A = this chain, B = another copy of it.
Amino acid sequence: MQAVIIASGEGKRMSQKRKDSPKPLLKLLGLTLIERVILSLKQTGVVEEILIVVGYQGEKIKKTLGGGEKYGVKINYIENPYWRRGNGISVVRAKNQIKGNFLLLMADHIFEYTIVKEIVKEELNGYDAVLAVDTTPAEYLDVNDATKVKLESDKIVQIGKHLEEYEGFDCGIFLCSPKVFEYLQEAISQGKESLTDGMQKIASVGRLKAFDIGEKFWIDIDTPSTLQEAQRILCRRIGKESDGFISRRVNRPISLIFTRYLVKTNLTPNSISLLSFALCVVAGMFFMGGSYFLTVIGGIITQLASILDGCDGEVARLKFKVSEYGGWFDALLDRYADAFVILGMVLGILKSKGGISPWIWGFVAISGSFTNSYSAAKYDLIRKFKKRKWRFGRDTRYFIIFLGALFNQLYFTLISLGVITNFISLRRMWVLRKD
């Protein structure tokens, strides 16, 4: 399927933020707005070609995005010299390049890619276009400025900014038949040049369908405050289902602060995984020192590594770089990191306490840590754990080590880790056996 992205406007209300750049090139958590639209489209797996209608500072957009190679999509450009006029004209400019039904999107609307994935499944029969409609808008929506729709069941009968009665809001995502161009041209010939004017034409003849997006996320980035809001929401949405208590309450809030900086760098998620691993090796070396001072530093670095361990996934999700390999690589590195931390603890404990007991407990702790991680995925899968369920994972283990180091109780911590982790692994065997 082809997708048309309207990126021709100036975005006056953003002039302070965007400085010299056009609004579609505004950065949001390391990616420009239009890159987010492009990568969301790619993620749906149904878009073959992206047509970008450019106008205001179009050259800058073309130079930034190129032919789409770096995003793994095909991008072509359409110039609209009349970009100062209504945005309906920008859509009509794409007419000659369109081969069938197509998606129509705005460069400044950020959205959950599943909205597009579902809207393309809508049947057009009897309709000329489908519009994604939000009937339960979030509190950040600027109701005065938003385009409203009046519905009769799933038919849009009126669309505009100034409706008195309305049931939902225009999310700026359309599935269109090529017939849409006729309505738009008719509207433009009557001096009604906005896309909404053209859509009102379709609604008037009862051929504009509404697709209710339900609870899915979308936001129209129109002002500096909506940009802030979008950043806040995207960050909030990247917590993982499987997050344990410490992840959720301690690590995630801090890692998100790091992540906001990390997304602006060129660091890949895998480099961040390596960095977290390296911190664990360093922490292990500090533990080896044996003194209280070094132990505390080791503990702090351990907790830091645990926090940073969340950033690789966060950056991956925020920059559309999630990969099966990345998750596997991170998990494997984590296991080695665990080994280094525990080995460091054992060697540190040996400084004040000889004998083979610290070693034995080291073996016990490493076996427990490994079998915990080894069994977690399948256990969660079979038991279908919900988000809020208590989970004892790497986040908790490292937090315990952190606390143990602060209180200078490394040996007691090692023994506790060994007992708790192995208890959990054995309990999992037992619980699943009964299932």
A-side interface residues toward B, CB under 8 Å? 270, 324-325, 328-329, 331-332, 335-336, 339, 342-343, 346-347, 350, 356, 359-360, 362-363, 366-367, 370-371, 373-375, 378-379, 382, 425, 428-429, 432-433, 435
Establish whether residues B371 and A374, one from each chain, have CB atoms under 8 Å apart when the complex forms: no
Establish whether residues B360 and A328, one from each chain, have CB atoms under 8 Å apart when the complex forms: no
- Residue in B359, B360, B371, B432 whose CB lies within 8 Å of A335: B371
Other than the given A325-B382, A329-B433, A332-B371, 6 more pairs (CB < 8 A) read A328-B382, A335-B371, A336-B371, A339-B363, A346-B359, A359-B359
Nearest chain B residue, comparing its CB with the CB of A435: B325
A-B interface, 3 closest residue pairs, ranked by CB to CB distance from nearest: A339-B367, A370-B370, A359-B359
Which residues of chain B have C-beta atoms less than 8 A from A432's C-beta?
A: 325, 328-329
Which residues of chain B have C-beta atoms less than 8 A from A335's C-beta?
A: 367, 370-371, 374
**Of residues A356, A429, A435, which shows the largest number of chain B Cβ atoms within 10 Å of its Cβ?**
A429
For the complex formed, measure the closest distance between the CB of A63 and the CB atoms of chain B, giving whole angstroms.
31
For the complex formed, measure the closest distance between the CB of A327 and the CB atoms of chain B, giving whole angstroms.
9
For the complex formed, measure the closest distance between the CB of A389 and the CB atoms of chain B, giving whole angstroms.
19
Which residues of chain B have C-beta atoms less than 8 A from A332's C-beta?
A: 371, 374-375, 425, 428-429
Nearest chain B residue, comparing its CB with the CB of A347: B356
- Residue in B328, B362, B374, B425 whose CB lies within 8 Å of A363: B362
A370 to B375, CA, bound (A): 12
A367 to B329, CA, bound (A): 15
12 A–B contacts, CB within 8 A, in A order: A328-B432, A329-B429, A332-B371, A335-B371, A335-B374, A336-B371, A343-B360, A346-B359, A350-B356, A359-B359, A359-B362, A373-B374
Question: Can you tell how many copies of this chain the complex includes?
Answer: 2
Nearest chain B residue, comparing its CB with the CB of A425: B332
Nearest chain B residue, comparing its CB with the CB of A328: B378
A336 to B367, CA, bound (A): 7
For the complex formed, measure the closest distance between the CB of A320 and the CB atoms of chain B, giving whole angstroms.
19
Nearest chain B residue, comparing its CB with the CB of A364: B339
Establish whether residues A331 and B374, one from each chain, have CB atoms under 8 Å apart when the complex forms: yes
For the complex formed, measure the closest distance between the CB of A353 and the CB atoms of chain B, giving whole angstroms.
14
A378 to B429, CA, bound (A): 22
For the complex formed, measure the closest distance between the CB of A339 and the CB atoms of chain B, giving whole angstroms.
4
A329 to B379, CA, bound (A): 11
Nearest chain B residue, comparing its CB with the CB of A367: B339
Nearest chain B residue, comparing its CB with the CB of A375: B332
Establish whether residues B366 and A363, one from each chain, have CB atoms under 8 Å apart when the complex forms: yes
For the complex formed, measure the closest distance between the CB of A334 and the CB atoms of chain B, giving whole angstroms.
10
Nearest chain B residue, comparing its CB with the CB of A338: B367
Which residues of chain B have C-beta atoms less than 8 A from A429's C-beta?
A: 329, 332
Which residues of chain B have C-beta atoms less than 8 A from A371's C-beta?
A: 332, 335-336
Nearest chain B residue, comparing its CB with the CB of A333: B429
Which residues of chain B have C-beta atoms less than 8 A from A362's C-beta?
A: 359, 363
A382 to B382, CA, bound (A): 22
A373 to B370, CA, bound (A): 10
Nearest chain B residue, comparing its CB with the CB of A378: B328
A324 to B382, CA, bound (A): 9
